[in-house]
Amino acid sequence: MSLNLTAAGLADQKAWEAAGYALPSYDREAMITRTKESPCWVHFGAGNIFRAFQANTAQELLNNGTFDRGVIVAEGFDTEIIRDMYQPHDNLSILVTLKADGSVEKTVVGSIAESLAADTADSPDFARLKEIFTKDSLQMATFTITEKGYSLKNGAGELLPSVAADFAAGPSSVTSYMGKVASLLYERFLAGEKPFAMVSTDNCSHNGEKLSLALTAYASAWEENKLVQPGFLSYLQNPEKVSFPWTMIDKITPRPSEQIAADLEKLGVEDMQPVITGKKTYIAPFVNAEKPQYLVIEDHFPNGRPALEKGFGVYMADRNTVNLSERMKVTVCLNPVHSATGPLGVVQGYDLFAHMLNTNEDMMKMARMIAYDEGLPVVPDPGILSPQAFVDETVQRSIPE
């Protein structure tokens, strides 16, 4: 049996299902048509966590009928991902979910309607993004570009060369990541100051604030240099026009495993081996991830939003709850356990956190002491998530080989 991860290959549904794959239960071609005509959701950052979490959330909403459109993904750093991984597979990917009991779920994710290079050197793709950003239907852009994606300065506090060049040149010839995003928002401003939500889902504190500060820096420089029409900065600073919700995300998504690639190929799926791009991105036609996931989002969307809370592990809340959830994870329930035990595990020769805890009684005892004895008594309770349940899941997580 040979399975090909393309739209044509997916037509043989019975073969995929016989091999244990869950398939999209919606009309994918109709979804793609609707999304292209009336886009709602753009995502920046086409890496592994997006495919494991945000794209799969969109698929869940499509499957349960609460959303009728998919996601348009744009990659502004490593566009090789789009050309060499997304498009040859018709924007399909396989999500391999690894559970604590050692079992595996395999899902073909088909919610990505369009993949584009956010690169001004690729004029057709960037022109398409400009068109998308003028649409009334567009409600939000989400981001997984890592914390450094929002950085405008180097360690010495000096503007990065690409940022300084973009400040001076204006929105028509941008090369920096935030410059590209700012130029797209300028298109939305010119189209009638249309409302929009800019939602960072990167794993950093006060991520919405970081995104806002980066983009308003461009708007401020461009207005000062008279490179944009007056009012662009005010547009970005008006939360009833453009919002920057804060979020807390937790989703462990390692690099694609060569062993899992071999396992998938044994089951008949062609060409699953990971590749390393010229910019050192580890990518494959599949993504492997653990089951637990959390995304708490500040519910501030000036142009409406999909019913994101209908997806597994997604919670809508106010800003204070998001902040408390982030503090719970980072200061008590997850990061301290990993930070305290991880280095010792490396010294002892473990290559996986789960193997260390599952095979070393002393390390598990230490992890439990940090989480339960030291952490839980002082943890801020966000209310929307249970610190006790979060800690229980932390020490039970396992990523099998």
The Cα–Cα gap between 190 and 232 comes to: 9
pLDDT score of 401: 38
Mention every residue, 6+ apart, whose C-beta is less than 8 A from residue 64. Answer: 310
The Cα–Cα gap between 391 and 292 comes to: 12
Q: Report the C-alpha dihedral over residues 28, 29, 32, 37, rounded to 10 degrees.
A: -140
Longest dimension (CA), the chain: 64
Taking the chain, what is the end-to-end CA distance rounded to the nearest angstrom?
Answer: 25
* Of 116-125, 282-291, 308-317, the least confident: 116-125
User: Is the pLDDT reported for residue 368 higher than 80?
Assistant: yes
Instruction: For residue range 32-54, list pLDDT tens digits in order.
Output: 999 999 999 999 999 999 999 99
User: Is the pLDDT reported for residue 1 higher than 80?
Assistant: no
CB 303 within 8 A of CB 197: yes
Mean pLDDT to the nearest integer, 72-94: 96
User: Is the pLDDT reported for residue 400 higher than 60?
Assistant: no
The Cα–Cα gap between 295 and 141 comes to: 15
User: Is the pLDDT reported for residue 31 higher than 50?
Assistant: yes
Q: Round the average pLDDT of the chain to a whole number and report it.
A: 94
Instruction: For residue range 89-121, list pLDDT tens digits in order.
Output: 999 999 999 887 778 999 999 999 999 999 987
pLDDT score of 397: 63
Instruction: For residue range 266-290, list pLDDT tens digits in order.
Output: 989 999 999 999 999 999 999 999 9
Provide the whole-model pTM. 0.94
Q: Which of 86, 17, 59, 99 is nearest to 289 (CA)?
A: 99
Q: Which of 284, 251, 288 is nearest to 401 (CA)?
A: 288
pLDDT score of 398: 44
pLDDT score of 120: 87
Backbone dihedral angles phi then psi of residue 313, each to the nearest 5 degrees = 80, 10
The beta strand positions in 29-76, using DSSP E, are 41-44, 71-75
